[in-house]
Amino acid sequence: MSHDIHKSAILSCSGVVFDIKRFAIHDGPGIRTTVFVKGCNMTCWWCHNPESKSDKPELFFSSSKCRNCGRCVAACPQHAHRIGPDGHVIDRSKCVLCGACVTACPFEAVRIIGTIRTAADVLAEVLEDRHYYATSGGGVTVSGGEPLRQPDFVYALLWAARQEGIHTAVDTNGNNGRGGYETLLPVTDLFLFDLKQMDAEKHKAGTGGSLKNVLDNLRWLSENGATVILRCPIIPGVNAEDDGHWRQVADLAAGLTGVTAVEYLPYHRLWIGKQSGLGAAVDEDLRSRPEISGERIAAIHGILEQSGKPVSKG
């Protein structure tokens, strides 16, 4: 009985989830379900999930879907929506996320990103595909945002998944207190560990986070039995052009026994539309930055292979 009470208490833990992606194949081995949680402690401009940065639910507006029908204007009790000569304008300072506009819109142009869910609720959805995990060597991955911003919820979900015999993974930026990793290590089969920049000043400028903290946590995980895949975004104007950066990454990976592979993540521009949908301005210089050429990606791949670890596109 005590075990049932303990399990029930853990599964009642709640967190803010903004998406659950089934049949994911780039977030760890096999076929997986990736659970995306909100909240991040870094400020990377290139983040492909800008909707994950805030800890709280947010209103998202897709201008390409809007037909200016005005139903949201009529439905909103806070008068946050307005349609005029300048198009559809949302006064986000008035929005209380009641969802009236979401219900009223027939074109799905507005939606709320982020829902409070219990670990039990999410686990039930994860378990729907357990057959595919078993046949492919897959499992569940928690991503974000930064999962360690919601450590209790993430622990609860991974603990419960482990009880069901499901492989678990956490995608982390490394910029967290040691205690969070100590908590999650016993219930995490794989860490997907992001490494964005090897120069401390550039790392601070680009992400707002401490490179020393990131590297200390990476080394601690490697030295304490964790299995780690090092994941490195290729970002124009940040690290894409810098061979020295990639050589340092290769050297670092070579010296860490816990790092079993290195993945690179080429920059893409999907963040631009997402950021606009959140009502945030997009810097024109950043908007104009191109994606990475195949030739440059191949060169980076070659440098990373010097680590002696398997290298692939993530």
- SS3 of the chain: the string is CHHHHHHHHHHCCEEEEEEEEEEECCCCCCCEEEEEECCCCCCCCCCCCHHHCCCCCEEEECCCCCCCCCHHHHHCCCCCEEEECCEEEECCCCCCCCCHHHHHCCCCCEEEECEEEEHHHHHHHHHCCHHHHHHHCCEEEEECCCHHHCHHHHHHHHHHHHHCCCEEEEEECCCCCHHHHHHHHHHCCEEEEECCCCCHHHHHHHHCCCHHHHHHHHHHHHHCCCCEEEEEEECCCCCCCCHHHHHHHHHHHHCCCCEEEEEEEECCCHHHHHHHHCCCCCCHHHHCCCCCCHHHHHHHHHHHHHHCCCEEEC
pLDDT in tens, 51-85: 999 999 999 999 999 999 999 999 999 999 999 99
Mean pLDDT of 111-137: 98
Q: What is the pTM of this model?
A: 0.93
pLDDT in tens, 245-300: 999 999 999 999 999 999 999 998 888 888 889 998 888 888 888 899 999 999 99
Q: Residue 3 pLDDT > 70, yes or no?
A: no
Q: Residue 139 pLDDT > 80, yes or no?
A: yes
Mean pLDDT of 5-34: 93
**Regarding predicted confidence, which is higher, 271 or 160?**
160
- Domains in the chain, start-ordered, CATH in brackets? 2-55+118-270+290-313 (3.20.20.70), 58-113 (3.30.70.20)
